[in-house]
Amino acid sequence: MKIDPRPTPPPVRGFRFSGVHGGLKPRGKRDFGLIVADRPVPCAAAYTTNSACAAPVVVAREHTAQGLAQAIMVNSGNANAGTGEKGVAFTRWSCRELGTTLGIDPTLVVPCSTGVIGVELERIPYSRAVSLGADGLSPRGFVAAARAIMTSDEFPKWSHRKIEINGAKISVAGMAKGAGMIRPGMATMLSFIITDAVASTAALDAILASALPNSFNRISVDGDMSTNDTVVLMASGSAAGGETASQDSVGFARLSAAFAEIMDELSRMIVIDGEGATKMVDVVVEGAESDAVAVRAARSIAESTLVKTAFYGADPNWGRVVCALGNSGVDFDEAVLSIDVDDVGLVRAGDVVSDEASRAARKAMRSDAFVLKIVIGQGPGTATVVTSDLTEAYVKFNSAYTS
């Protein structure tokens, strides 16, 4: 299921990018990425809800609170998490280092780190990475940056859209990293989505608030939430005529849809690239009392170890699904309970349809991607959580994770 996304995103006006090997990872792998705007621009951001958040998240929250940013700085291979006040001090220093190098205000730098937890970063190699990254900045450096932020990812993740607003050609492009420690609220990931549209901070906040619940907050690989999750949106305003400064302006819906589509694509790439994963599954719950109740039920099913191993074995063991549903604490009506695998009706009114249906469901579950739909009642609530199967490869990889 591993993919290498194509085509390559075109340049986004008002931004430059770089991805270099600064010596933070061994064997010459890219380990430092930059996204730099030509000037301070509106931004919106969301971060992990893990109370043990990493040092860069602490500093990034402070910096993006002003609604403006000019640079996103990412190192991979080291999460700078579990490093206490030393880690925070290092992050503040790194922002000053990049600020001095680029001649920008260090509070306009959004710092991000990803990799091993509990290891301190060192200033000398990081300073070298900053220098090399600054020297390598280019409007066509997007792919290099996307590769530099990878850790256990097997492929770089990017997506882009071209739209038109008031006659102006608008570009929206996003990159992400993530493959393990993936759980809703947010997934274990970094993602940066940029546009050359004219958009206010309030507009970007609204776009992020709308798109996040149905993308990065609705995926799960292993049920573990990271210390470093970060999503940042930036708008350079370099596309003349593409005014989307508020939710009431012409083109806001188009821009919002483009961001939402990109975030959905990137979130699904993260699940596809789940450590050891061989399948992507949309767990859909319908008929709940409310959407919030449906989300709780879908998450319980999507994160069940027994259900996920059944996905791996293409085993239509619907009893595991019902068990996970019961563990969610959500009330459901067995008299109307139905379970479908793609277009195969497996269970109706709480009973398996037939042996033939079970065989057809098993065949559908052998696919790289399928939909598991559960109707639990007659209410209006519905939700989808995208998850992966759980394999021996996941256990082997995470029993000896080093970078």
User: Tens digit of pLDDT for each residue in 157-211?
Assistant: 999 999 998 888 999 999 999 865 444 443 458 999 999 999 999 999 999 999 9
Q: Which of 332, 315, 314, 336 is nearest to 323 (CA)?
A: 332
Q: Report the alpha-carbon distance of residue 2 to residue 372 in Å, rounded.
A: 22
Radius of gyration in angstroms for the set of CA atoms belonging to the chain, rounded to a whole number? 22
The confidence score (pLDDT) of residue 217 equals: 87
Instruction: Compute, in degrees rounded to 10, the torsion defined by CA atoms 137, 138, 144, 149.
Output: 40
Q: Which of 83, 114, 188, 195 is catalytic?
A: 188
Domains of the chain in start order, with CATH, are 15-272 (3.60.70.12), 280-398 (3.10.20.340)
- Ranges in the chain, pLDDT < 50: 181-187, 401
Tokens of 70: 């000019």
Q: Which of 4, 8, 43, 40 is nearest to 173 (CA)?
A: 8
> What letter would DSSP give residue 9?
P
188 is an active site residue: yes
Q: Which of 247, 263, 246, 203 is nearest to 67 (CA)?
A: 203
Cα dihedral across residues 246, 250, 254, 257: positive or negative: positive
Q: Which of 189, 183, 182, 162 is nearest to 173 (CA)?
A: 162
Instruction: Compute, in degrees rounded to 10, the torsion defined by CA atoms 264, 79, 16, 7.
Output: -40
Tokens of 64: 């993006």
Q: Report the alpha-carbon distance of residue 281 to residue 308 in Å, rounded.
A: 9
The confidence score (pLDDT) of residue 168 equals: 87
CA distances from 355 to 126, 251, 309, 347, 359 (A): 61, 52, 21, 11, 6
Query: Residue 380: helix, strand or coil by DSSP?
Result: coil
Its pTM stands at 0.88
pLDDT tens digits along 136-147:
999 999 999 999
Q: Report the alpha-carbon distance of residue 397 to residue 178 in Å, rounded.
A: 14
